[in-house]
Amino acid sequence: MSIKSLGAKFFAAYVKKKIDRWSNNPIKTQEKVFWELIRAAESTAFGRDHNFSNITTHQDFVKNVPVRDYEQLRPYMDRVVSGEKDVVWPGKPLYFAKTSGTTSGVKYIPLTKESIPTHINAARNAILCYIAESGRTDFVNGKMIFLQGSPELSEKNGINLGRLSGIVAHYVPKYLQKNRMPSWETNCIEDWEDKVEAIVAETIHENMTVISGIPPWVQMYFERLREKSQKTIGELFPNFELFIYGGVNYEPYRATFEKLIGRKVPSIELYPASEGFFAFQDKQNANGMLLQLNSGMFYEFIKADEFFNEDPQRLTIGEVVTDINYVMLVSTNAGLWSYNIGDTIMFTSTKPYRVLVSGRIKHFISAFGEHVIGKEVEIALQVAADKTGMMVKEFTVAPQINPTDGSIPYHEWFIEFQEEPDNIEVLAEAIDSELRSQNSYYDDLIAGKMLRRLEIRIMPKDGFNEYMKSIGKLGGQNKLPRLSNDRKIADVLSGMIAK
């Protein structure tokens, strides 16, 4: 065993004990974070405007601080971006993480000296928990890659600005610098297709042991490697041990990945965002990711089916239960307050608190009252694909409200397959059956002939990549929405199929 491997094993055991201490005391941990945030920010403009100095309970906080998204918080954020200090958090942020919202346009999420370490440590701790559980450390001696955005930063009013993944790239620990790939120059390539080709050229002859990134873009990397080498990824990288991913559910991609790799590889799921690194998979056989309760973030939760009510109840960590769809709000040491990140989550466990991402509060289909969410369509497709042996590369779903033939409306599934199936009707029937078993509203609409069975449209090879490229979102941390309640995406995809 190398010195690095031995050190990793001891460090993993130490960190795991620290994680166990706060995860076994979740309510006290969150209370401590809450008061640290309130007291730190009470002299800021936001703290003064929202009466922080007189807040003595969470209910006081609820009365004084409304739920906001970026657009509603923009008056404060614009002041931060202009260079004003002590607006939402003491001083000025170290960075802005630039991200694009569906309704807010470009968003500038502040990252502070207090919040940056939580992003770095959570990703590190995910790997350390894997080491503590499995005892495996050989992979730390090989090469590691994270498919990410460019680390090149610009400046806005004296504050560095970039994509979160690019900012985080500046904080890779020194002991990993020699293992890190690709090169800085390759990482700075803006065009995603050119970047993937350069990464393939740099890594194809290396001892790759850890590969990480958003599944659809890692899949593109794997496909290019196979085309160039005529080998499976497992043959090309025999010591490839760990796949780390986030951003989208891995399950719809798992069968395709295992075929590309040629074997099963352990994986770790992460839940990072510009607003905070919320959770990571701490155990290989546990369902869900450990919610980061000790990372400068105070969480509130609203039941998703009550979110659009006039005065929905805001719950704290001790009040949530498993298997309920919640909208997650965060108040952070970067100056976000009761901020709606847009995700819906479900708790899979409360001892400790583990979550899975069930969808986006704005990404759903309910054109007919069916209330279909992302988690349901992903599970339905996964179950159906397993039953039929079909391998799906990418997909999205939208309602077809006014069929041109005058028939009953339906859900339209746009699917790109690894290999085009012989009988698409078998898959459509299997998906529909599974979705009906999960969602009683959808089942009632089908039974009542308000909706007919879903229809599948086969996307051409690399069709979704072409779509993402056409809107300037190919690669990096960009993700294709699984669900839309309108036909903005569907109509473009329909045009691509018709060509």
Dihedral sign computed on CA atoms, order 130, 136, 139, 141: positive
Conformation bin of residue 148: beta by default, left when phi > 0, alpha when psi is -120 to 50: beta
Per-residue model confidence (pLDDT) at position 105 = 65
Residue 103 has pLDDT above 50, yes or no: no
**Average pLDDT of span 177-190:** 85
Give 442-493 pLDDT, tens digit per residue.
998 898 888 999 999 999 988 999 998 888 888 766 788 888 888 989 999 9
Tokens 């899949």 sit on residue: 219
Long-range contacts of 473-476 (CB under 8 A, 24+ apart): 474/192, 474/193, 475/147, 475/192, 475/193, 475/195, 475/196, 475/217, 475/220, 476/148, 476/149, 476/163, 476/165, 476/192, 476/217
Residue 312 has pLDDT above 80, yes or no: yes
SS3 228: helix
The candidate with the shortest Cα–Cα distance to 274, out of 125, 149, 87, is 149
Q: Is 135 exposed, middle or buried (0-12, 13-18, 19+ CB in 10 A)?
A: exposed
What does DSSP say about strands 242-246 and 208-212: parallel, antiparallel, or unpaired? parallel
What does DSSP say about strands 208-212 and 143-146: parallel, antiparallel, or unpaired? parallel
Tokens 């299997």 sit on residue: 430
Q: Average pLDDT over the chain, rounded to whole?
A: 90
User: Residue 87 gets which letter from DSSP?
Assistant: S
Contacts of 57 (CB under 8 A, 6+ apart): none
Give CA–CA dist 198/182, Å, rounded.
9
Give CA–CA dist 30/197, Å, rounded.
45
The candidate with the shortest Cα–Cα distance to 473, out of 461, 482, 465, is 465
Residue 100 has pLDDT above 90, yes or no: no
**Average pLDDT of span 104-123:** 89
Tokens 């759903």 sit on residue: 364
> Which amino acid belongs to residue 458?
I
Tokens 């779509």 sit on residue: 467
Give CA–CA dist 225/443, Å, rounded.
43
> Which amino acid belongs to residue 409?
P
Tell which wins on pLDDT, 242 or 1: 242
Q: Give the pair of three-digit tokens for residue 121.
A: 């440590």
User: Residue 314 gets which letter from DSSP?
Assistant: P
Give CA–CA dist 444/112, Å, rounded.
49
Using only C-alpha atoms, the chain has a radius of gyration, in whole angstroms, of 23
Give 317-356 pLDDT, tens digit per residue.
999 999 999 999 999 999 999 999 988 999 999 999 999 9
Dihedral sign computed on CA atoms, order 38, 44, 50, 55: positive
User: Residue 288 gets which letter from DSSP?
Assistant: S
Per-residue model confidence (pLDDT) at position 111 = 96
Q: How far apart are the first and last CA of the chain?
A: 58
SS3 280: strand
Strands (DSSP E) along 188-316, which ranges?
208-212, 242-246, 267-273, 276-280, 289-291, 297-303
Q: Give the pair of three-digit tokens for residue 162.
A: 């970039």
Kindly state the percentage of the chain with pLDDT values over 90.
Answer: 59
Tokens 């069916």 sit on residue: 370
Q: Is 234 exposed, middle or buried (0-12, 13-18, 19+ CB in 10 A)?
A: middle
Give CA–CA dist 397/230, Å, rounded.
34
Residue 248 has pLDDT above 80, yes or no: no
Tell which wins on pLDDT, 358 or 61: 61
Per-residue model confidence (pLDDT) at position 102 = 45
Residue 123 has pLDDT above 50, yes or no: yes
Q: How many CA atoms lie within 13 A of 274 on its CB side?
A: 27
> Which amino acid belongs to residue 329?
L
10 Å Cβ neighbour count for 35?
13
Specify the DSSP element, H or E, that contains 74.
Answer: helix 70-81
> Which amino acid belongs to residue 173?
P
Residue 77 has pLDDT above 90, yes or no: yes
Structural contact between residues 421 and 427, judged by C-beta atoms closer than 8 angstroms: yes
Give 128-178 pLDDT, tens digit per residue.
999 999 999 988 889 999 877 788 889 989 999 988 888 888 887 776 677
The count of residues in the chain is 499
Cis peptide bond upstream of 352, omega within 30: yes
DSSP per-residue codes, 2-14:
-HHHHHHHHHHHH
